[in-house]
Amino acid sequence: MASQMCWLPRLGADSERILYLRRSPDKPWQPYTSCPEYSVPDYKIDGGSKGWATYQKLQKAGWQLISTAQAQRTNLAIR
Protein backbone atom coordinates (compact mmCIF):
# COMPACT_ATOMS: atom_id res chain seq x y z
CA MET A 1 0.00 0.00 0.00
CA ALA A 2 1.14 3.53 -0.74
CA SER A 3 2.35 5.95 1.86
CA GLN A 4 -0.45 8.17 3.10
CA MET A 5 -1.03 11.80 4.02
CA CYS A 6 -3.97 13.70 5.47
CA TRP A 7 -4.91 17.03 7.04
CA LEU A 8 -5.57 16.78 10.78
CA PRO A 9 -5.97 19.34 13.56
CA ARG A 10 -2.69 20.22 15.21
CA LEU A 11 -2.51 18.64 18.65
CA GLY A 12 -4.00 20.99 21.21
CA ALA A 13 -5.69 23.15 18.56
CA ASP A 14 -9.33 23.15 17.54
CA SER A 15 -9.19 24.52 14.03
CA GLU A 16 -5.75 24.72 12.44
CA ARG A 17 -5.02 21.66 10.35
CA ILE A 18 -1.58 20.59 9.26
CA LEU A 19 -0.27 17.79 7.09
CA TYR A 20 0.25 14.42 8.75
CA LEU A 21 2.13 11.51 7.20
CA ARG A 22 2.54 7.77 7.60
CA ARG A 23 4.59 5.34 5.54
CA SER A 24 2.06 2.52 5.86
CA PRO A 25 -1.43 1.97 7.31
CA ASP A 26 -0.05 0.06 10.29
CA LYS A 27 2.03 3.04 11.44
CA PRO A 28 0.82 6.03 13.50
CA TRP A 29 0.25 9.44 11.94
CA GLN A 30 3.06 11.96 12.43
CA PRO A 31 3.12 15.70 11.74
CA TYR A 32 5.08 16.43 8.58
CA THR A 33 7.53 18.47 10.66
CA SER A 34 8.54 15.23 12.43
CA CYS A 35 9.56 13.69 9.10
CA PRO A 36 12.56 15.66 7.84
CA GLU A 37 13.33 12.99 5.25
CA TYR A 38 10.05 13.88 3.46
CA SER A 39 9.23 17.47 4.40
CA VAL A 40 10.28 20.60 2.58
CA PRO A 41 10.16 24.19 3.86
CA ASP A 42 6.73 25.81 3.98
CA TYR A 43 5.90 28.59 1.57
CA LYS A 44 6.24 32.03 3.15
CA ILE A 45 2.63 33.08 2.65
CA ASP A 46 0.62 34.65 5.46
CA GLY A 47 -2.22 32.30 6.37
CA GLY A 48 -0.88 29.55 4.12
CA SER A 49 -1.51 25.89 4.93
CA LYS A 50 1.19 24.28 7.03
CA GLY A 51 2.59 21.45 4.95
CA TRP A 52 1.29 22.52 1.54
CA ALA A 53 4.73 22.45 -0.10
CA THR A 54 5.37 19.00 1.38
CA TYR A 55 1.95 17.82 0.20
CA GLN A 56 2.75 18.90 -3.37
CA LYS A 57 6.11 17.11 -3.31
CA LEU A 58 4.69 13.87 -1.91
CA GLN A 59 1.66 13.88 -4.20
CA LYS A 60 4.01 13.95 -7.19
CA ALA A 61 5.92 11.06 -5.60
CA GLY A 62 2.75 8.94 -5.46
CA TRP A 63 1.65 9.35 -1.86
CA GLN A 64 -2.07 8.78 -1.25
CA LEU A 65 -4.22 11.55 0.24
CA ILE A 66 -6.96 10.25 2.52
CA SER A 67 -9.79 12.20 4.07
CA THR A 68 -9.59 13.67 7.56
CA ALA A 69 -12.61 11.59 8.58
CA GLN A 70 -11.00 8.38 7.37
CA ALA A 71 -7.75 9.20 9.16
CA GLN A 72 -9.57 9.96 12.40
CA ARG A 73 -11.37 6.61 12.27
CA THR A 74 -8.11 4.67 12.37
CA ASN A 75 -7.36 3.13 15.73
CA LEU A 76 -3.68 4.06 15.68
CA ALA A 77 -2.59 6.89 17.93
CA ILE A 78 -1.56 10.16 16.38
CA ARG A 79 1.90 11.24 17.47
Separation between Cα atoms, residue 75 and residue 18, nearest integer Å? 19
61-71 tens-digit pLDDT: 999 999 988 88
Q: Is the pTM value of this prediction over 0.95?
A: no
What per-residue confidence (pLDDT) applies to 26? 87
What per-residue confidence (pLDDT) applies to 2? 83
What is the DSSP pairing of strand 64-65 with strand 4-9? parallel
Tell me the H-state helices in the chain.
Answer: 52-60, 68-73
Could you count the other beta carbons within 10 Å of the beta carbon of residue 50? 18
What per-residue confidence (pLDDT) applies to 3? 94
Phi, psi of 73 (to 5 degrees): -80, -20
Separation between Cα atoms, residue 44 and residue 5, nearest integer Å? 22
27-55 tens-digit pLDDT: 899 999 999 999 999 999 988 889 999 99
Q: Taking residues 4-22, report their average pLDDT.
A: 86
